Structure 1
Amino acid sequence: MKRIFFLFLLICAPMMGQSNALFEKANEAYNDGDYPEAVSRYTEVLKNGEESAELYFNLGNAHYKLNHIAESIYNYEKALLLDPGDKTIQNNLEFANNMVVDDIKAVPKSGLSNFINGIIGVFSFNGWAWIAIIGATIFAILFLLYYFSLGSKWKRLFFTISITAVVIAFISLIFAFHLKNVTENNEFAIVFAEEVAVRNEPNPRGNELFLLHEGTKVQILNTFQDWVQLELENGSTGWMLESAVKFL
């Protein structure tokens, strides 16, 4: 087993070092204003199997500098999936979305729904899972202190904090599974075609409902052969060619 472990390290270490070197070279190219070279280097890192919010964010910035609307939005969205609470990523995504031709107004949700979704969106699935684990650990430690403590004052303190910790852990666990369920049951994509027709059926002879342009984010409801059924934030639905979008 040890031999296998060391063999794994020998194989992976050079790859990780290579990816880090590529990432640094990409950053240097970006700082020098050579954005095509930065895009090329960042993309190489992705091809090596490395993923991080910082990597997607930097790649999105390089595409943004080149006025690549769809590519910049796609990479900012990927970065947000890994770090949903990052304000810088959110701000840059908003700037990129301002370049999108399609002005789609989202269907307004209730204030309570927006408030809850805003809280859940602060952390990723892993973030909420870690909070749940930490909360459960604190509960276990403090409950033991409560159980073995002799003074009534300390017992009340340990009991109160331990119950608070377990409640936080339970709520975090619910949020984590909610995010996991949303991710698994809601698939999104970014339109990469400069302009694409959305039709009422998965057929090139179907009636054209409206046009979409690059950078627009759509929710994928269904797929059929070379077509995808989509829904926009305003509730509009239709079919478009799958080749016109890139899945998140």
Structure 2
Amino acid sequence: MKQYLYITVFLFSILGFSQNMALFEQGNTFYNEGKYQDAIKKYEAILETDEHSAELYFNLGNAHYKLNHIAPSVYYYEKALQLKPNDSEIKNNLNFAKNMTLDAIDVIPEVGMSKVLNNVSGVLSFDVWAIIAICFVVLSVVLFINYIMSEGTKTKRFSFTFGFACLFLMLGSLVSAFHKYNLDKADNPAIVFTQESKVKSEPNLRSEEAFRLHEGTKVQVLDTVENWKKIKLTDGKMGWIPSNDIKLLNRF
């Protein structure tokens, strides 16, 4: 009975993949013909099947960019960049889309140990840092066993020295792993989707207006209170924005 179930699931997966490929090709055809809205409908039909890829988001961003849809083009380029963070073409098109935004927000530069730790931790993912830490633990244990079992002075000195070096490297890897985990957990970006949004000092309409943001601007979401999101900009400004005015990037 299980075999029939597996075969059925497999066949439906193949069928769904074929349908999505057909939709993708149709979307590309519409895009090349300059029918950008029709292309968007085909690409969005793929998203409705929970199919996600950097290529799909990139093409959606391109189609919206051609229609001068600022927020959606920035949003989909950012989504593509999440799946392919080192893709130069995505980064280039994202910069073009950002040039259409109205808000010019400064970036507070990182300094000191915080900058060094962020740069080092950001090189690898949490999982990779954790694996490296485990490898250093195993290596240090092997070296210390070799230190105990060996009789030669040079071998003992080598095992002892590099055993402690592996322990220090293990601690460094653990620090990087947990720092990367905290960075990823705190990273909750969103894109402003309304043409203009009034950011308040408190999460209610009666509070004082702190500043205004326009479509396409990227923000970090810090907290949620009912229908309000607490946001932070790269220049350090913070405030509360209606939840419907932004679209979170980390949701797939």
Distance 2:42 2:176 in 1: 36
Q: Does 1:211 align with 2:205?
A: no
Contact 1:56/1:75, CA 8 A, preserved across alignment:
yes
CA spacing shift, 1:171–1:207, aligned 2, 3 Å = same
Distance 1:120 1:34 in 2: 44
Distance 2:29 2:176 in 1: 39
Contact 2:198/2:211, CA 8 A, preserved across alignment:
yes
Tell which deviates more after alignment, 171-180 or 228-237: 171-180
Q: Which amino acid in the other structure matches residue 246 of structure 2?
A: V
Aligned position for 1:32: 33
What is the percent sequence identity of the aligned residues?
45
TM-align CA RMSD: 3.2
Distance 1:172 1:89 in 2: 31
Aligned position for 1:235: 236
SS at match of 1:91: helix
* Structure 2: 5+ residue stretches without partners: 143-162
Aligned position for 1:57: 58
Q: Which amino acid in the other structure matches residue 9 of structure 1?
A: F
**After superposition, what is the alpha-carbon deviation per residue over 1:198-217, rounded to whole angstroms, capped at 9, x for unaligned?**
11111111001111000011
Aligned position for 2:77: 76
Shift in Å, 1:54: 1.0
Bigger Rg, which one:
2
Contact 1:56/1:78, CA 8 A, preserved across alignment:
yes
Q: Which amino acid in the other structure matches residue 5 of structure 1?
A: Y
Aligned position for 1:93: 94
TM-score normalised by structure 1 residue count: 0.77
Aligned residue pair count: 224
CA spacing shift, 1:33–1:116, aligned 2, 3 Å = farther
Distance 2:212 2:237 in 1: 12
**After superposition, what is the alpha-carbon deviation per residue over 1:75-107, rounded to whole angstroms, capped at 9, x for unaligned?**
111111111111111111111111110000011
TM-score normalised by structure 2 residue count: 0.75
Shift in Å, 1:185: 2.6
CA spacing shift, 1:55–1:174, aligned 2, 3 Å = farther
**After superposition, what is the alpha-carbon deviation per residue over 1:169-216, rounded to whole angstroms, capped at 9, x for unaligned?**
998897676555433332111000100101111111100111100001
